[in-house]
A and B are shown apart, each in its own frame.
Chain A
Amino acid sequence: MNEIDLSVNIGSLKLKNPVMLASGTVGYGNEISEFTDLSKIGAIVTKSISLKPRKGNPPQRITETPSGMLNAIGLANVGVEEFITHKIPFLKKINSTLICNIAASSIEEYIECVEILETQETIKGFEINVSCPNVKEGGLIFGNDINAVGRITEKVRAKTNKPIIIKLSPNNSNISDYAEVVKKEGGDAVSAINTLVGTAFDIYSRKPKIKNITGGLSGPAIKPVALAKVLEISRKVDIPIIGIGGIFDWKDAVEFMIVGASAFQIGTVNFVNPRASLEIIEGLKKYCEETSITKISDLIASRII
């Protein structure tokens, strides 16, 4: 049997396979490279970068929930300058496709970040985070404002020819309206979904389990929600979708692609099984063999409803 073609396209971005490592779950690549061969993975999305370094939230930042976890890291990151000087050289060496995720507190900051990073050849595309639930400024304020999402897409589009992916929030109704705006303003793709706002309390101290009170829920618990959001976008808007939400193995990944995702990101699973990405690639190959699929892209939105 011929080698199965695992490659997928996200707008003008060609990935060797649909497996992407989600922003904020692999840092800048160096730690997880001790467990996995990053050159085999479709793409890596960096931890959100902001113009200036961000300290992040005080502890406690995470807590476990049934089949999931809540996090409120608060976009801790080294800032654009340090990212270029100290993180990009490593990311360049590993020979994986690098998507740079950008977070900002204002539209101007998004633009400035893109302007600075645009010249970095190693960066093959931008994922714009308009949906972080854990910071006071930016993040969800934009993610829940359809006009702001449109403006950010439009302004960033004007500054770069590299693929632009807008990471959407599930914390609103009608996610497809947001995807429509992204498409209209020249975005290449959407990622869906970012984490869901959640909380957890200790019943004896009666205090929140994380310092930020609320955090972003991720993990297998959110998979059905994420699938429904991907389906909604896929049915209503003609734009490539990167599915995210609780993918733990190749079966979850196949489900996302059938429902409508052109590629997918794995996040929380990296914490539990840092080799999951390679295991998923192998699982996808086997699935394709078993079901006589020669091109994995044939799976995309192949749902039968």
Chain B
Amino acid sequence: MFIDDCVVASNTKIAENTFLIGLEVPFSTEKLLPGQFFNIKVSNNSFPLLRRPFSISDVIENRIYFMYKVVGEGTSIISKKVKGETLNLLGPLGNSFNIDDSFSTAIIIGGGIGIAPFPFLIKKLVNKNIQVLFGMRSKSEAHNYGLVNINYSSDDGSIGLHGNVIDLLDVELKNSDETKTKIFACGPNAMFRALQKYLTNKNVLCEASMESAMACGFGICQGCPIEFKNNPSYNLICKDGPVFNIKDIVI
């Protein structure tokens, strides 16, 4: 497992409060999988104390890119990092999206910064029809980094459909063969709950990349439990996930 300082190669704003940071890594990036994440220490001291988990957004040669939204102290510090400074990376962690199922159309659903893991996934989806459904509060969050065939939705109607990603999905699925379609989703829990409910009686595969507060990211702190239907004990988002079949989990 890799744990070391990595040099910032770039750190660019792609939308309001949303950035893409590229880090040079000294290991081969060939085996990295879409859906995996790194746990990142943003300071050399005890404030902030814990690492922050970020899924891999993109990989170009020996650079790993992370898309992030500035929401608190940790991401605020990252947003001020300039080329040549370092961040301490631990990973890669977690499982990944399964792209070996027999589907011909991939519907990608991103809610806000939940779009983060998908540029890398899209690179790995060869010979598939890809449709991206990108939901957000407002137009200021919109970007198209690493995305293709994007349909936007916004809560305030300032871009795309005035509504949410489930409304977009409903339209999309009506034009698709459910048995040849697979959904990949990432976003806030409210979006997942709506998606899970919407898919209840549908026969379409859906993998969800879940978010959680974490301390360690590799299973020792037990801080990120997720309940499975029909299972008395908790699974861990960091170690058993972060990608789960949406039908298996209690959100």
A interface vs B, CB < 8 Å?
Answer: 24-27, 31-32, 34-35, 47, 53, 55-64, 66-69, 71, 73, 76, 219-220, 248, 268, 270-275
Contact partners of A56 in chain B: CB under 8 A: 222, 225, 234
Given the known inter-chain contacts A34-B1, A76-B222, please indicate yes or no for A220 contacting B234, CB distance below 8 A: no
Top 7 closest A-B pairs, CB basis?
A: A62-B223, A271-B216, A271-B215, A31-B219, A67-B46, A220-B46, A34-B1
A54 and chain B: residue at smallest CB distance: B233
Closest B residue by C-beta to A66? B47
**Which of chain A's residues has its CB closest to B237's CB?**
A59
Which residues of chain B in 211-251 are interfacial with respect to chain A, using CB atoms and an 8 Å cutoff? Answer: 212-216, 218-227, 232-234, 239
CA distance A248 to B45 in the complex (A): 10
- Taking the closest CB of chain A, its distance from the CB of B124, in whole angstroms, is 25
With contact pairs A53-B233, A59-B225, A272-B41 given, residues A31 and B218 touching in the complex (Cβ less than 8 Å): yes
Find out whether the CB atom of A58 lies under 8 angstroms from the CB atom of B225.
Answer: yes
Choose among B213, B221, B226, B232 the residue with the greatest number of A CB atoms under 10 Å from its CB. Answer: B221
Those of B19-51 within 8 Å (CB) of chain A? 41, 46-51
Interface of B is mostly: loop
19 contacts between A and B (CB under 8 A): A25-B221, A27-B219, A31-B219, A55-B234, A56-B222, A59-B225, A59-B226, A60-B212, A62-B214, A62-B224, A64-B213, A67-B46, A67-B47, A71-B223, A76-B225, A76-B233, A219-B49, A272-B41, A274-B90
Residues of A within 8 A of B232 (CB): 55
Contact of B3 among A25, A219, A274 (CB under 8 A): A274
Q: Which residue of B lies closest to A73 (CB)?
A: B222
Tell me whether A272 and B50 are in contact (CB under 8 A). Answer: yes
Out of B212, B216, B233, B239, which one reaches A59, CB within 8 Å?
Answer: B212
Could you tell me if B215 and A62 are in contact, using CB atoms closer than 8 angstroms?
yes
Pairwise interchain contact B220-A69, C-beta atoms closer than 8 A: no
Q: Which residue of A lies closest to B217 (CB)?
A: A271
Residues of chain B whose beta carbon lies under 8 Å from any beta carbon of chain A: 1, 3, 41, 46-51, 90, 212-216, 218-227, 232-234, 239
Known: A53-B233, A64-B49. A26 touches B213 (CB 8 A): no
Q: Quote the shortest CB–CB distance from B58 to chain A (angstroms).
A: 26
Nearest to A29 among chain B residues (CB) is B220
- Closest-by-CB residue of B relative to A248 is B46
Q: Which residues of A contact B41 (CB under 8 A)?
A: 272
Per the bound structure, the CA–CA distance linking A25 and B218 in Å amounts to: 11
Find A268's partner among B49, B222, B225, B226 (CB 8 Å cutoff): B49
In the complex, which residues of chain A have a beta carbon less than 8 angstroms from the beta carbon of B219? 27, 31
A64 with B212: CB separation less than 8 A: no
Shortest B242–chain A CB gap in Å is 14
* Residue from the list B49, B212, B220 in contact with A270, Cβ < 8 A: B220
Task: List the B residue with the shortest CB-CB distance to A72.
Answer: B223
Give Cα A56 to B234, complex, Å: 8
- For the complex formed, measure the closest distance between the CB of B152 and the CB atoms of chain A, giving whole angstroms: 27
CA distance A27 to B222 in the complex (A): 8
With A and B bound together, what is the CA distance between A12 and B212 in angstroms? Answer: 43
A268 to B48, CA, bound (A): 13
Contact call A26/B220, Cβ cutoff below 8 A: yes
Residues of A within 8 A of B227 (CB): 58
Contact, CB under 8 Å: B213 / A60: yes
Cα-based distance from A61 to B222 in the complex (angstroms): 8
Q: Is the CB of A69 within 8 A of B216?
A: no
The distance in angstroms between the C-alpha atoms of A43 and B14, with both chains bound, is 48
A25 CA to B221 CA, complexed, in Å? 6
Contact of A271 (CB < 8 Å), options: B1, B47, B221, B233: B221
Smallest CB–CB gap between B226 and chain A, Å? Answer: 7
Nearest B residue to A68, CB-CB: B49
A53, A67, A71, A273: the one contacting B221 at CB < 8 Å is A71
Kindly report which residue of chain A lies nearest to residue B223, judged by CB atoms: A62
- With A55-B232, A62-B215, A270-B220 as given contacts, are A69 and B225 in contact (CB-CB < 8 Å)? no
CB distance from B81 to the nearest CB of A (A): 18
Closest to B216 in A: A271
